[in-house]
Every structure is written in structure tokens, then in C-alpha cells.
Amino acid sequence: MNQQTFLICVLLSIPAGYLLQRVYARTLAVAAIGILVTAIVALIFPVIAGFETMQIFALIFASSFGIRFAEKQQSRAKLKVARPQYKYCPSCRSPLAEKEIGGNKALGCTFCSFAYWNNPIPVAAAVIPHKLGVVLVKRKLEPRKGKWALPAGFIQPFETPEQGAARESKEEASVDIEIERPLFNFAPPGVNQILMFFVAKEIDQTPVAADDAEEAQVFALDNLPEDMAFPSHVEAINRWRASAGR
């Protein structure tokens, strides 16, 4: 590989790394392993099959810059929807500090008895069967804006999970549902939430996007969109299909 071609490949490696991270996520760990392995191989075998292994090392290293940039963007997007990290007591405005309370660590007020436990945020989602398939909505907000998902959202104060799932279905897809049964619960890794999935009774209403969604549509069960927002929503649909024989 001549020097000019190599420099072009190095420059292209940066956006390639960015795109890989945006599509697949967790690419930085793979790149780090690749950098380590190729560095070791380059020291032992400077040339393999006509390729200089140090050039391969340089390409992977260059891609890591794009990967890190994409990772920072994704982290910022997560922070926009994350629960705020409190520094001061909401009761007396004194600073919070990490304490051991009842054998567990929590942020406790340095003056009064307030303790912030940072409990998981409850989220309710509904699998809504339709005579033509299942109801999905295109997300209007981050995370996964513009991708398809089940109607879902945070449970409001003094609301049951079933009521939350029904309300979100109305707010996102303009459909009135009746919850038939719980399906399963799921705690997404790295996200302080607990997702509760429910199955609604079959409807024949035509979903229409409301304020909380870009689009609402019925998809045939064998023709679900490829750009689903969350793997857990796909799993919920698959579990429902298996239990319902559809």
C-alpha cells in the first residue's frame, strides 16, 4: 500500500469508526482489543501476506477516534433523558453525601433525615394485538428517536402500571385499550429503569399518531420494521406471539 493510499484509508477509518459505533454500539471495546492484538502481531510479524501489520494497527487506531466521538454523542443523548443527580437536599437544601443507611449506600442529607435512594424508574409498555398484526409507534423523542417501538412511557404518580400502559397507548397511538395480562418485566443493563410489559385485548381501531409519537401503525407480525428501537420490545412481541400461538 503506497503512502497516499494509506493516508486516504486512515482518513476514511475515522468516519467508519463513527458509523460502526452509531449502528452497533460498544465498538470501542472491540477496537481496543484490535489495537492491542495488532500491536503485538506487528512486533512479531512486521509483514503478513504482503501487508504491513503496523499499517493495519494505524487504521484501527484511527477508527477509534471516530468511535470515541460517536460514544460521547450517545452519552450526551442518554444524559438528556437520565434522572437528575441531586447534590442538595430537596427538604432543607443542605448538601447530600454518600452514607450507609440500614446496611445500604445512599445519598443522605448532611443535616436532616432525607435519603435519596435512586430507585429504578418504572416504565409501562403495551403489546396491542390487532386483527392485522400489532400496533407500533415511531418515537418522537430520545432515546432512539425516529425508531419503532411499542407504546410505552413512565408511570405517573398514583398510577398503576396497567393504567400507565393504557394511558401511554392513548397518548401515543390514540387507541383505547384494556389490559388483558402482564407479560414480563425487564431491567435494561446500564439504565436505572424497570420495564413492565403488558398484553392488551385485541383491538380493531386504526392507530393514529398523537402528540407523543411521530407515526402510529399496525404491522403484520411477519413484517415488523427493521429499525426497532429496543431489543426488549422485540422480545415482548415474540413472547406474546409464542404464548398466543400467533
* CA proximity to 142, closest of 193, 212, 192: 212
156 touches 164 (CB < 8 A): yes
Give the integer Cα–Cα distance in Å for 103 and 164: 33
CA 185 to chain centre: 16
Rounded Cα distance, 6 and 10, in Å: 6
Digit-coded pLDDT (tens) for 120-153? 999 999 999 999 999 999 999 888 999 999 999 9
SS3 content of the chain, % helix, strand, coil (to 5): 40, 25, 35
Buried b or exposed e, range 109-120, using 16+ CB within 10 angstroms:
beeeebbeeeee
pLDDT value at residue 47: 64
Q: What's residue 153's pLDDT?
A: 96
Pairing outcome for strands 47-48 and 51-52: antiparallel
Which CATH superfamily hosts domain 121-244? Nucleoside Triphosphate Pyrophosphohydrolase (3.90.79.10)
Q: What confidence tens digit (pLDDT) does each residue in 99-108 have? A: 888 888 888 9
Alpha carbons 136 and 125: distance in angstroms, whole number: 11
Q: What is the pLDDT of residue 1?
A: 52
Q: pLDDT 10s per residue in the chain (246 long)?
A: 556 665 676 667 677 766 766 666 655 566 666 656 555 655 665 665 555 656 666 666 666 776 677 677 666 665 455 556 788 999 999 999 988 888 888 889 999 989 988 889 999 999 999 999 999 999 998 889 999 999 999 999 999 999 999 999 999 999 999 999 999 999 998 888 999 999 999 999 999 999 889 999 999 999 999 999 999 999 999 999 999 998
Cα separation, 120 vs 82, whole angstroms: 11
What pLDDT shows up at residue 15? 77
Give the max Cα distance, the chain: 70
pLDDT single digits (tens) 87-97:
899 999 999 99
Q: What is the pLDDT at residue 150?
A: 98
**Tell me, what's the pLDDT at 99?**
87
The runs of H, that is alpha helices, within the chain are 3-24, 27-44, 53-81, 161-173, 231-244
pLDDT number for residue 178: 98
What is the spatial distance between Cα 18 and Cα 16, in angstroms, rounded to a whole number? 5
pLDDT of residue 76: 61
What does the domain layout of the chain look like in residue ranges? 3-81, 84-117, 121-244
Output the pLDDT for position 237: 98
CA distance between the termini of the chain: 55
Instruction: Using DSSP bridges, classify how beta strands 213-219 and 133-139 pair: parallel, antiparallel or unpaired.
Output: antiparallel
Q: What integer pLDDT is reported at residue 86 of this predicted model?
A: 80
